[in-house]
Structures are given as structure tokens and as C-alpha cells.
Structure 1
Amino acid sequence: MASSRFLLLILIIISGYIFISNYTYTRGKIARANGQHLYLKSAVCGFFLFSTSYLLKHLYSDSIAYQYTLNLFASVFEEETDRLTHTAILSLTLSLYLLILLQLPVYWVEPLIKSRLIDSVLLRLRKKHKNKTINYLIRKIDVLWATFQYLSLSYVKWLQKKALGGNPVDELLLQLMSGDGGAIMTCDEHGKVFIGFVLRMPDPVLPPEERVVSIAPIMSGSMCKEFQQLHITTDYTDAFYTYHNKILDHQNIEDIAALVFTKRIKILRRFDIELFDNFFKRKVCACGHDIYLPRPHRQNVPIATSK
């Protein structure tokens, strides 16, 4: 009897841990939690899944949908386990189903929308069929698909923002990466400066000392130690000009990324490219050095844009 109760407790904790460690909203918080908090949160989530599974079993145990979905895996052990242990196995299955349902927009819907596969299929169908009834149905499907895209992308953005846990650095990076697409300027503890566009957010699961932000650099330089003026030493737009079409392809853009450790960032701010010329009108810093050192052969190349 004691062993069955121990097995019941372990199954409840495992079902909760599977969910909270993989769901985008909670996985970052779980990665930063200590051992005792992890057990407690897993147990709370597992108890909620266990209670929901018990309720579903009590209400829909005779339905075909229940037998071929929630009870499909647990039915194998139904004769060898007691009622509570069987319900705990149901909670494991329920945690997997909920993860698939809630994480589907994160991993599958957004790439599907960006590929525009369904949009091209609907466009071909509208051109191919001239029947009014069929065209009416296609338009209705098109409206439903557009609504689904909007709701899915809104859910993904909300989920990503909530997963940051109110971290102002991560919230600024997310806003620049998925919002207006502006450039950022990072300055580390040694005064090294990178200016560019955010390509990838820091992984919240990694320890703080291993978290990095991926940047497509436009320029780099350093901060004047005496007067805290920005000195630009490298202009990447000139170096990337000869093959910028390949770089702008999303498949190759990670090849030119600069990885900046978030723990070493001392200053993080927006960098307004439109004010770039006004910023360098002074030409010389108060320390006597040129503010802008490189002398590029080409200017205004397409890589120095938010797109």
C-alpha cells in the first residue's frame, strides 16, 4: 500500500514537472528556481492535472473520445493499478496533450504563417474556381485563416512577454526584435560597444553567466573612459557590402552575428539610426580622438536598415 502511494506521488510530481519545464510561460521561471521551489511548483501543477484528470474520468469515462484520447495510454495499466494510480497516469497524458495544444502556435503556427503556404493555396483556389458558391466558401476560409493568424501571433507575443518575468533588459530586446525592429547599442564592463539588430533572444533556461544575445552588427567601437563619448572603430556595412544579399537571407544571417553575454552588459539602449549623422557632426571627442575612425568606401547599403 505504501509503495502504491509513493508511486502515486511520484507520478503527480512528474506530470507537473513535464508541463512547467516545457511550457514557454513557466520554463524560464523554473530554470531559475531552486530545488525546493521546483518540487513545490511541480507538485502544485501535478495536483491540478490530477484533479482535472479525475474529473474528466468521472464525467466522460464511457465516451469514445475519452477512450481514444486521454485513456489511450493509461488503459494499458488499468487492470494492474488502483483507481488513483490510474488517474495519475491519466494526468501524465493530459500534461502532454496540454503542452501540444499550448505550444503549437510557438513552434508550428508562426513558421507556417511566415511560409505563406496556406495563403498561396487559397489564392490558387480562388483563381481556379469561378463558381460563386465555391468562391464564397473560399473567402470564408480566408477570413477564418486571417483571424487564426492574428490570434495565434497575439498569443505568441503575449506568451513571450510573460515568460520574461518583468526583466527590463529582455523586454527591450523582445520589443526591438518583434516590434519596430530598431537597432540597439550594448556596452560591456570593459567599454566595448556593439550596435546592431537583435537576431535572437537570450535563452531563459540557461544560467545567467551563459545567456547571450545574438546581434547582427552595424558598427562597433568603445566608450571613452574619460568623457564617456562613443568612439566608432569598425563599420560593418562596408565589409558586408559585397555579399549583403546572402546575409539578408534569414538562413545565413546568423553567420555574421555577434554574441554578447547579457551578464557583462553595462549599458543597453536604443540606437536611432536616423540621428546617426547628427551624432557624428562633432567628429572629435573631448579627449582629442576622432569619434568615427573608419573611412568606408560605400555608404547607405541595405544591411543598415531594420529589414
Structure 2
Amino acid sequence: MKSHRKLRTYILGYVLILPSMLFLISFTYYPVVRSFVLSLFRQVPGAGQSFIGFGNYAEMFGTELFRQVMWNNLIYSLGSTIPSIILGLIFALLLNGKIRGRGFFRFSFFYPTMIPIAAASMVWIFLFTQSYGLVNKILGILHLPSNIDWLNSTPYAMVAIICVSIWKFAGYYMLLFLSGLQSIDPSYYEAALLEGASTWQKTYKITLPLLSPTTFFIVLMAIINSFQSVDQIYVMTRGGPYNTTNVLLYYIYQYGFVYWDTGTASTASSVLFIILLIITVIYYRGLQHFVSYER
């Protein structure tokens, strides 16, 4: 009787997760497998596909464009994730205390996250316009070079893309850091106050170590987001000038939906999947022991 009840429990559990499993198989696992399969074929115009094994990989890695795209993605990832995380942490530390207008500032910093990145990019195009953009106007007031063609010159185009990403994601990371800060037991700070600890000592010895699980999650998520950014690049620069803002996901879009070269697009998609998988495994195995889950 007990074994039958246990069996029914197992069956019920699998039935309950079946819709989610079907969704994952249809929209996650199958596309990944299909992408790997397509990467082994070359798209021949007018003649369908021909199997070439790993020929697409060898050809793609041998091109100057792909190497430039990977370098661009590295610059974009470092330039957007590090400032976004640091600003998010600073905002969270400042707005976690009891200050006047705290709710207003929290909403103001978080508001860019709620704006679709494509719509926000259209606004930033006007801000970065060479002749009448607000950015150049401010630089002129500060007596700095103010005739910069931000979106059509190197390296300013990548700087503009990075600025938009920082503006977009810093508030979101702030909200996650705030959640982590508010879960820290106040008794730690009370004990530190009795010991005469300074604000910096409390931050360095208590806040940052106990915030490490949140930081661990945010850093990984920020790295993944940096490899998935394409909207602002499509709207603002289309990968230009001269592919200096062309990143891996936009490269996949170009070959998949502009050139209709499914073999190269699938190859790049497989490379993106492998890169993120390796980063995630190394990140978890290498940094997990630095995380303190004691609250």
C-alpha cells in the first residue's frame, strides 16, 4: 500500500512538471540541438544544404571579421558589466538607509529598466547627435571637445553603446543589491556599533561578505546579459562604423536573417552557447568558495 502511494506521488509530480518540460524541450533544448546540427551544414544558394562537418567552424574562426566581433564583445562586456555592477552597488548602499526622498530616488534609478531598450535607444540617438545632441552641448559648456560624431566614429560608437547599457542595467542591479542588503540581520550592525566599528569597517567586514551570494548571482547574470545585447546596437549603429560595434549576437542576426546563411549563423550560435557554458562552469567552480551563505 505504501509503495503504491509513493508511486502515485511520483506520477503526480511528473504530471505537474510535464507542461514546463514540454515548454523547455520545445523552446530551449530542441533549438540548441537543432543549432548544433545546422552548424554542420553549408547553405548552398539554390541547392539546399550540404554536410561539411566542422568546416563552418574552421572557416568562421579564420575570418578577420569574426575575430573582430569577439574582441568587440569582450570590450563591450567589460565596459558595460563592471560599471553597471559598481554603480548598482553604490546606489543600493546609499538608498538602503533612511534618507529623505528614498522612494523617489529608488524609482528614478530603476525606471530605465522598465523602458524597452529599442525605444530608449531611439532617445539616445538624439542625445548623441553630433550637431544638436545634449551630450555634445554639455561637453561644450565644460569647454571639452564637443563636435564628436558619437555613432559614426571610432572609438566613440562603442563608448555610446556601453553608456546606454550602463544606464539601462545599473538600476536593475541596484534593486537586486537592495534585496540582498535588506536580508542581512541588523544584529550584526548593532554588535559592530557596540565595538566602535566605523562605517567603512561595517561595510567591508559585514555588508560585502554577507552580500556575496547576491553579488555572485548579479555578476554571472551581467556577463550573460552582455553576450545577449543586440537591440541598442541594431537601433543605434547597425554594427558600425566598420564593424567596430558588431558583437556576437548581432553577427548571428546578420548571417541568419540578412544573408540567410543558416550554417554560419548556427555555428556562431553554437559558439555563443559554448562560451556561456564554459564561463558559467568556471565561474561556479572557481568562485563558489568565496561566497558566504551565512546570514
Structure-2-length-normalised TM-score: 0.25
Kindly indicate whether structure 1 or structure 2 has the higher relative contact order, using CA contacts under 8 Å at least 6 residues apart: 2
More strand per residue: 1
Instruction: Please say which structure displays the higher CA radius of gyration.
Output: 1
